[in-house]
Amino acid sequence: MDSRGRRDRARINLGEAYEVEYWSKSLGISKERLTAIVQKVGDRLDAVRAEVAAERERTRDAEK
């Protein structure tokens, strides 16, 4: 185990810069957007992914 401790892969830890960097790139969103989404739906990865997908759907619908 490293100095960062055991990582919970089902949660996004906004207190760790490397996680914010990784998840923002992985989800294709800005760090600021990731932070806002986590504040809105919580830190569970499944909830964050669902919100990102819902936002993209809303954006597609608005462009029609």
User: What DSSP string runs through 39-51?
Assistant: HHH-SBHHHHHHH
Tens-place pLDDT, residues 11-57: 999 999 999 999 999 999 999 999 999 999 999 999 999 999 999 99
Q: Please check whether residue 12 is in contact with residue 43, taking contact to mean a CB–CB distance below 8 angstroms.
A: yes
pTM score, whole prediction: 0.83
